[in-house]
Each structure stands twice: as structure tokens, then as C-alpha cells.
């Protein structure tokens, strides 16, 4: 068995060999530019400079060495201390070159920066001159004419159409809210029967109509001394004009949008019904109440100025078609001439309760002729039918 003394001596020898071997001298050659640093004694605690950075030598075992950067504390290695062994130190790769032991007599504890050994001069690299490019004839540029970009989806082309239509509407009513002295007095309808004519020329539209029979029975509801007021035996007329343009057209379907202005006027007799009550005393002193009913008649004129926005969707084949029209009225102005007498003259005003119309219709055509019928609901209630011809 090995005695404790011998084991202690072996451990001391191993520790001394791993921490303080000092007979090995090496230089470090940069593999990129062949710059040589050193020579240095690779002993524990030695400070060496490689590539401008100072490292502390650390030994890990006999024949191996590591390097600790004093700037950031990073340890590189271990590297085997063998001649021409390659290792990575810092940001470079170096080849260890073994030097004789007496090459360095006294290496200070902190070695100064070693001078770089100049690499043997080499012939300068002279690049080959680039080949001359072939001459290419460039055609003379002609002045370009600025062409505006095309629309992503241009408006569809519309056929030139000149169409005349005549029609009759046995029902042509308009909802009106009546006001007497700025107070709401009744929800009535101006009832008409109307004949008219429409003209379509390309995208322009015009219309004219005449109403031989106009009346409205709910101008004023019963209340107080006035029991009712109505428009009777009236006549009216209307003219309208505007522009309607197709914005989409595909497979027989067409979508149009347009703007239309209209003037409508009705005139007739304003009949106002009222009742007055009087106290009477007979010869016996008995008091009784007597009612006297009166009807006063005067002239009345109602005029409406309006603007409509039309949106139409239609389907057309060779000899028949369907259409629907949505009309919105952003502007509507009524003016009423006429008044009601009840202890004084009371003014009459009017306004539309709903500024919207929806129309649906169909047509059938043959040899240039066209027969159609449509119905309108919402602000107006209208049923009309007629025929026309395409010129």
C-alpha cells in the first residue's frame, strides 16, 4: 500500500505541474494576417498582450492553458501547448509557435505590448482591368404625349334614346300635415286624378301633368268654434325636370342615379265650417242656447317647390322590363295663400310628413311602342298607366 507521505508528495507534484509549469515559451501567429505576438512564458498569472488585448494566463492541467481577458473577464481555452496548435483567443484564431526555453531570459510580471513582426513582403495584387462593354446603340427617344389614366370602372355607355310617354293616374294623392297659426291642425291628403306626359332624351328627363280634380277634406279638424275646413273643386298642375345617369350596367341590369326638381300647384275653394252659440231669453224669462252654423268660402292656393334624389334599378330584355325607383326629398317648401276667419284671420301652412317615395313598375314593348304601369307608395300614393313611343 502507498503510504500517506507518498500520496501527499504525488499530489503536490501534480498541483505544481498543473499550476506553475514555466519552461514553455510560445509566440502567437494570427492566421489572418500572419502577425506574430510574443514570445511569452505560459505560466500561471502571466500577463500577455495578444491583438491589442491583455490576457491573464490560467493553467488547467499539465500541457494545457487558458487565457482570461482582463477587459471583459471572458476565458478562452483550454488550448494544448503544442507547437503549431491552433486556438481561438478573443476575436481571432492563432497558431502557437514553440520557442526555445532560453529565448526569453527574464519575462516581467506584466509583459509590455509586443512589437508586431512584419510579414515578409509579398507581390501586390494587381486586379485585371474590366472588359470593355459592347457598344449598344440607344435609339433616339421621341417626345411622349401624356395620356391620362383610364378610369378603373368607367361609366357604361348609354344608348341615345328619345322617348315620349303619356299616362293617366286615377289615384294621385300626397300626404300633407296642415298647420293653422303654426299649430298642427290635421293630417290630410291632397287627392287628385291626373293626366301627364314624360319626355326622355338621352339622360335628361322632363314631365308635365294636369289635375282636373283636386280636393282635401282634413285641413282643420273640429275644435272650438271651427268644426272643419276643406279644399273643394280644385285644379292643379305640375312640371318637373332633371338628369338621370346609368352608373352600372351588366347582363340586362342597370343602376341609375339622378337629380330632379319639381313645382306643383293646386287652387280651389276653401270651405270653413264653424258654429256659434247664443243665449236667448223668452217672455217667461227662460234662458236657452241657440247654435248657429256657418260656412264661409274663400279661394286657396297651395304651391310646393321640391328637390328629389332618384336611385333606379331596372332589368330590360328585348321586349319587356321591370324597374324600381327610390326617391328621397332633401328639400320641400310649401307656400299657402288663404286664411281661416275665426274672430280674426288665421294663417295656414303645410309640410310633408315623409320625404320619401318608392315606385315599382313594369313595361312591355313592341315595334317601338311601350305600355307601362307603376305604383308609388310612402309620401305619395299613386297608380298610373300609360303608353309611349321611341323616336
For residues 239 and 379, membership in a common domain is answered with: yes
Distance, in Å, from the CA atom of 81 to the CA atom of 62, rounded to the nearest integer, reads 9
More confident residue, 135 or 37: 37
Confidence of residue 2 (pLDDT cuts 50, 70, 90): very low
Domain boundary among 103, 127, 154: 103
Domain boundary among 103, 120, 153: 103
Q: Does any domain span residue 151?
A: no
More confident residue, 66 or 370: 370
Q: Does any domain span residue 232?
A: yes
More confident residue, 361 or 354: 361
DSSP state of 56: E
For residues 205 and 296, membership in a common domain is answered with: yes
| Predicted local confidence at residue 42, as pLDDT | 80
More confident residue, 70 or 283: 70
| Predicted local confidence at residue 335, as pLDDT | 92
Contacts of 218 (CB under 8 A, 6+ apart): 178, 186, 187, 188, 189, 230
For residues 185 and 303, membership in a common domain is answered with: yes
Q: Does any domain span residue 61?
A: yes
For residues 75 and 173, membership in a common domain is answered with: no
For residues 95 and 188, membership in a common domain is answered with: no
| Predicted local confidence at residue 21, as pLDDT | 44
Domain boundary among 103, 125, 142: 103
Distance, in Å, from the CA atom of 288 to the CA atom of 274, rounded to the nearest integer, reads 20
Identify the CATH number of the domain in which residue 174 sits: 2.40.128.90
11-15, 56-60, 255-259 — which is least confidently predicted?
Answer: 11-15
Q: Does any domain span residue 339?
A: yes
Sheet holding 92-99, edge to edge: 36-41, 25-30, 92-99, 86-89
Q: What is the DSSP string of 69-123?
A: ETTT--EEEEEE--TT-EEEETTEEEEEEEE-GGG-S---SBPPPPPPPPPPP-P
Confidence of residue 222 (pLDDT cuts 50, 70, 90): low
Averaged pLDDT for residues 107-123: 47
Q: Does any domain span residue 134?
A: no
Q: Does any domain span residue 124?
A: no
Q: Does any domain span residue 146?
A: no
Strand locations in 221-318, DSSP E? Answer: 226-250, 253-281, 287-316
User: What is the number of domains present in the chain?
Assistant: 2
| Predicted local confidence at residue 275, as pLDDT | 66
For residues 94 and 168, membership in a common domain is answered with: no
Q: Which domain holds residue 66?
A: 4-103
R_g over Cα of the chain: 56
| Predicted local confidence at residue 371, as pLDDT | 96
pTM for the structure as a whole = 0.56
Chain mean pLDDT for the chain: 80
5-9, 101-105, 106-110, 263-267 — which is least confidently predicted?
Answer: 106-110
> Would you say 51 and 71 are in contact if contact means Cβ atoms under 8 Å apart?
no
Averaged pLDDT for residues 58-66: 79
For residues 90 and 166, membership in a common domain is answered with: no
Strand partners, 299: 269
For residues 54 and 173, membership in a common domain is answered with: no
Q: Does any domain span residue 113?
A: no
Averaged pLDDT for residues 82-101: 83
| Predicted local confidence at residue 278, as pLDDT | 54
For residues 99 and 229, membership in a common domain is answered with: no
> Would you say 166 and 187 are in contact if contact means Cβ atoms under 8 Å apart?
no
For residues 247 and 343, membership in a common domain is answered with: yes
For residues 83 and 14, membership in a common domain is answered with: yes
For residues 72 and 185, membership in a common domain is answered with: no
99-113, 168-182, 225-239 — which is least confidently predicted?
Answer: 99-113
Using alpha carbons only, give the angle 374, 378, 383 rounded to the nearest 5 degrees: 25
Does the N-terminal peptide bond of residue 267 adopt cis geometry, omega within 30 degrees of 0? Answer: no
Using alpha carbons only, give the angle 53, 58, 62 rounded to the nearest 5 degrees: 135
Distance, in Å, from the CA atom of 362 to the CA atom of 134, rounded to the nearest integer, reads 74
Distance, in Å, from the CA atom of 41 to the CA atom of 187, rounded to the nearest integer, reads 116
Does the N-terminal peptide bond of residue 291 adopt cis geometry, omega within 30 degrees of 0? Answer: no
Averaged pLDDT for residues 229-236: 91
Amino acid at each position: 500500500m502507498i503510504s500517506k507521505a507518498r500520496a501527499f508528495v504525488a499530489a503536490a507534484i501534480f498541483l505544481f505541474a498543473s499550476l506553475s509549469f514555466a519552461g514553455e515559451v510560445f509566440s502567437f501567429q494570427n492566421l489572418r494576417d500572419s502577425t506574430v505576438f510574443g514570445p511569452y512564458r505560459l505560466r500561471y498569472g502571466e500577463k500577455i498582450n495578444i491583438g491589442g488585448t491583455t490576457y491573464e494566463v490560467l493553467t488547467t492541467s499539465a500541457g494545457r492553458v487558458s487565457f482570461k481577458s482582463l477587459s471583459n473577464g471572458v476565458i478562452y481555452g483550454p488550448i494544448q501547448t503544442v507547437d503549431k496548435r491552433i486556438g481561438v483567443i478573443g476575436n481571432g484564431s492563432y497558431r502557437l509557435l514553440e520557442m526555445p526555453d532560453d529565448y526569453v531570459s527574464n519575462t516581467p510580471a506584466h509583459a509590455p505590448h509586443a512589437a508586431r513582426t512584419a510579414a515578409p513582403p509579398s507581390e501586390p495584387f494587381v486586379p485585371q482591368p474590366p472588359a470593355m462593354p459592347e457598344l449598344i446603340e440607344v435609339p433616339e427617344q421621341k417626345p411622349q404625349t401624356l395620356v391620362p389614366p383610364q378610369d378603373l370602372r368607367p361609366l357604361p355607355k348609354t344608348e341615345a334614346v328619345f322617348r315620349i310617354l303619356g299616362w293617366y293616374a286615377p289615384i294621385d294623392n300626397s300626404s300633407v300635415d296642415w298647420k293653422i297659426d303654426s299649430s298642427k291642425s290635421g293630417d290630410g291628403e291632397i287627392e287628385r286624378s291626373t293626366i301627364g306626359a314624360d319626355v326622355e332624351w338621352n339622360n335628361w328627363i322632363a314631365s308635365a301633368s294636369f289635375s282636373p280634380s283636386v280636393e282635401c277634406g282634413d285641413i282643420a279638424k273640429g275644435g272650438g268654434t271651427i268644426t272643419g275646413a276643406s279644399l273643394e273643386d280644385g285644379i292643379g298642375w305640375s312640371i318637373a325636370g332633371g338628369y338621370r345617369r346609368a352608373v352600372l350596367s351588366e347582363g340586362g341590369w342597370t343602376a341609375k342615379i339622378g337629380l330632379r326638381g319639381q313645382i306643383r300647384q293646386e287652387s280651389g275653394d276653401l270651405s270653413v265650417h264653424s258654429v256659434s252659440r247664443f243665449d236667448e231669453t223668452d217672455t217667461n224669462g227662460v234662458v236657452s242656447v241657440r247654435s248657429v252654423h256657418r260656412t264661409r268660402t274663400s279661394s286657396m292656393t297651395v304651391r310646393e317647390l321640391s328637390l328629389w334624389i332618384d336611385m333606379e334599378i331596372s332589368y330590360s330584355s328585348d321586349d319587356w322590363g321591370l324597374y324600381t325607383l327610390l326617391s328621397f326629398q332633401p328639400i320641400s317648401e310649401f307656400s299657402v295663400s288663404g286664411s281661416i276667419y275665426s274672430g280674426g284671420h288665421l294663417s295656414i301652412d303645410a309640410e310633408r310628413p315623409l320625404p320619401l317615395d318608392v315606385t315599382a313598375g313594369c313595361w312591355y314593348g313592341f315595334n317601338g311602342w311601350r305600355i307601362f304601369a307603376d305604383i308609388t307608395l310612402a309620401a305619395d300614393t299613386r297608380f298610373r298607366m300609360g303608353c309611349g313611343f321611341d323616336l
